[in-house]
């Protein structure tokens, strides 16, 4: 989950998020290189007594600083589009889970077989046990099997919300009357935290999401116990 | 109701609705609604012809997996009251 003084993204939990991390590293490096070059040139310009007032044409440098940025943009666009198409690949989910946003909690429905549904409220700060995370823990976590492709359908029962889990690279708007689909695949077990990401009223900051990714056998035991 | 087999290429029990190329994008609202309509139309037609409604189970499984419970309940109420907007 997020930690104090965090600068970068959370550790990736899905292959797509890993790709996004690498892409971000690549693009940010380009940004740093260009910024340092520009700052260096500015510093050179400001620290010399030499002047040159007779520039008439600069064909060569104009060509270079047109072609080079075009190349750099292509070097950014190609990996970006690769990841975009990767996110859109047709995969065959093994499980469908629905999440409905409410003011101010999420509810989850697992209806592939029986009707399993429950609400997930934030645990108030005054009721936290030692070691639990403030504003992030919930009473009923979303238990899911790891290493399986899961279809998440996100909607809302009242106003706009957004269902986000940063370590999986997921953020999907919850819109009343609309069913938005996203795909969830976690490479490892664990607890993954997220928060509502669309302003939805007074307790918008107090409706977190906690995914508990477990091996399939534990998921089956849990779902049987929840019915 | 749980007797539907999964569509042809797969073996075993029903896992979850397969990819439907009629609804390839993020917005799956119509996928849910269309299968709900198709189930009720299928039941109505099969009953009218006196045939078994077993083939309709596929549509049931799909809409049951995809549609939020509250939507299904609301639509069922509307069908009972005669105010459902879809053509069944």
Q: What angle do CA A19, A14, A115 make, to 5 degrees?
A: 145
Contacts of A111 in chain B (CB under 8 A): 64-65, 69
Instruction: Read off the pTM.
Output: 0.91
Q: Report domain extents, chain A.
A: 15-88, 95-226
Tell me if residue A41 falls in helix, strand or coil.
Answer: helix
pLDDT band at B12 (very low <50, low <70, confident <90, very high): low
Residues of A engaging B, defined by a Cβ cutoff of 8 Å: 90, 92-96, 98, 100, 109, 111-113, 115, 117, 151, 153, 155, 157, 172, 177-182
CATH topology of domain A95-226: Immunoglobulin-like (2.60.40)
Do β-strands A105-110 and A116-120 pair in parallel, antiparallel, or remain unpaired?
A: antiparallel
Q: What is the pLDDT of residues A114-130, one digit of tens each?
A: 999 999 999 999 999 99
- CATH number for region B29-81: 1.10.10.140
Q: Are A220 and A150 contacting, i.e. CB atoms less than 8 angstroms apart?
A: no
Q: What is the pLDDT of residues A172-188, one digit of tens each?
A: 999 999 999 999 999 99
The fraction of chain A above a pLDDT of 70, given in percent, is: 100
More confident residue, B9 or A194: A194
Predicted confidence (pLDDT) at residue B2 exceeds the cutoff of 80: no
Query: How far apart are alpha carbons A179 and A194 in whole angstroms?
Result: 20
Q: Are A214 and A143 contacting, i.e. CB atoms less than 8 angstroms apart?
A: yes
Predicted confidence (pLDDT) at residue A17 exceeds the cutoff of 80: yes
Contacts of A177 in chain B (CB under 8 A): 29
Please choose, from the candidates A43, A161, A19, A39, the residue with its C-alpha nearest in 3D space to the C-alpha of residue A100. A161
Q: What is the pLDDT of residue A94?
A: 95
Q: What is the pLDDT of residue B15?
A: 86
Tokens of A172: 């999907």
Q: What is the pLDDT of residue A141?
A: 97
Residue of B nearest to A181 (CA): B26
Query: How far apart are alpha carbons A70 and A66 in whole angstroms?
Result: 7
The beta-carbon neighbor of B68 closest among A109, A172, A182 is A109
Is the Cα torsion angle A113, B24, B58, B8 positive or negative in sign? negative
Instruction: Point out which residues pair with A152 in neighbouring strands.
Output: A97, A182
Q: What is the pLDDT of residue B3?
A: 44
Which candidate in B68, B73, B74 is best for mutational testing of the A interface (most A CBs within 10 A)?
B68
Inter-chain touch B16–A90, beta carbons under 8 Å: no
Predicted confidence (pLDDT) at residue B10 exceeds the cutoff of 80: no
How much is the average pLDDT of A209-219?
Answer: 97
The burial class, CB within 10 Å (0-12 / 13-18 / 19+), for A135 is: middle
Contacts of B85 in chain A (CB under 8 A): none
Q: What is the pLDDT of residue A53?
A: 86
Query: How far apart are alpha carbons A171 and B27 in whole angstroms?
Result: 14
Cα→Cα distances A94→A147, A163, A165, B11, B13, Å = 10, 21, 20, 13, 11
Q: What is the pLDDT of residue B55?
A: 94
Q: Which parts of chain B fold into alpha helices (H)?
A: 29-49, 57-66, 69-81
Please choose, from the candidates A1, A26, A19, the residue with its C-alpha nearest in 3D space to the C-alpha of residue A11. A1
pLDDT band at A106 (very low <50, low <70, confident <90, very high): very high
Cα→Cα distances B33→A9, A27, A166, A223, Å = 38, 42, 30, 27
Predicted confidence (pLDDT) at residue B8 exceeds the cutoff of 50: no
Predicted confidence (pLDDT) at residue A139 exceeds the cutoff of 90: yes
How much is the average pLDDT of A5-31?
Answer: 97
ipTM: 0.88
Q: What is the pLDDT of residues B18-61, one digit of tens each?
A: 999 999 999 999 999 999 999 999 999 999 999 999 999 999 99
Residue of B nearest to A110 (CA): B65
The beta-carbon neighbor of B27 closest among A151, A157, A180 is A180
Q: What is the pLDDT of residue B11?
A: 45
How much is the average pLDDT of A149-166?
Answer: 98
How much is the average pLDDT of A41-60?
Answer: 91
The fraction of chain B above a pLDDT of 70, given in percent, is: 86
Q: What is the mean pLDDT of chain B?
A: 89
Reading phi first (left if > 0) and then psi (alpha if -120 to 50, else beta), residue A147 is in left
pLDDT band at A157 (very low <50, low <70, confident <90, very high): very high
DSSP secondary structure letters along A42-74: HHHHHT-----------HHHHHHHHHHHHHHHH
Inter-chain touch B32–A182, beta carbons under 8 Å: no
Inter-chain touch B28–A153, beta carbons under 8 Å: yes
Q: Which CATH architecture has domain A15-88?
A: Orthogonal Bundle (1.10)
Q: What is the pLDDT of residue A154?
A: 98
Residue of A nearest to B3 (CA): A113
Query: How far apart are alpha carbons B27 and A180 in whole angstroms?
Result: 5
Peptide bond into A104 cis (omega under 30): yes
Tell me if residue A103 falls in helix, strand or coil.
Answer: coil
């Amino acid at each position: 989950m997020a930690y104090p003084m965090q600068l970068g993204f959370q550790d990736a939990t899905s292959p797509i998020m890993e790709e996004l991390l690498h892409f971000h590293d690549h693009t940010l490096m380009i940004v740093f290189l260009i910024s340092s070059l520009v700052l260096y040139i500015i510093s050179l310009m400001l620290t010399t007594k030499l002047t040159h007032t007779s520039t008439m044409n600069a064909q060569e440098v104009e060509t270079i600083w047109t072609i080079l940025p075009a190349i750099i943009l292509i070097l950014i666009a190609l990996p970006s589009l690769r990841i975009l198409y990767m996110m859109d690949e047709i995969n065959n989910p093994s499980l469908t889970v629905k999440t409905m946003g409410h003011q101010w909690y999420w509810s989850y429905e697992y209806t592939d077989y029986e009707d399993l549904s429950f609400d997930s409220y934030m645990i108030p700060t005054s009721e936290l046990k030692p070691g639990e995370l403030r504003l992030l823990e919930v009473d009923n976590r979303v238990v899911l099997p790891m290493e399986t492709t899961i279809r998440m359908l996100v909607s809302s029962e009242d106003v706009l919300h957004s269902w986000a889990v940063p370590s999986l690279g997921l953020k999907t708007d919850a819109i009343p009357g609309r069913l938005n689909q996203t795909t969830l695949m976690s490479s490892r077990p664990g607890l993954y935290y997220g928060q509502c990401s669309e302003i939805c009223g007074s307790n918008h900051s107090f409706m977190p999401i906690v995914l508990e990714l477990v091996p399939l056998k534990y998921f089956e035991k849990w779902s049987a116990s929840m019915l | 109701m749980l007797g539907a087999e999964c569509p042809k290429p797969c073996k075993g029990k029903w896992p979850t609705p397969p990819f439907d190329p009629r609804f390839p994008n993020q917005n799956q609202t119509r996928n849910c609604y269309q299968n709900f309509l198709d189930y009720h139309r299928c039941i109505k037609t099969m009953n009218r012809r006196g045939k078994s409604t077993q083939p309709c189970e596929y549509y049931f499984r799909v809409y049951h997996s995809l549609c939020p419970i509250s939507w299904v309940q609301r639509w069922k109420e509307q069908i009972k009251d005669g105010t459902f907007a879809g053509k069944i």
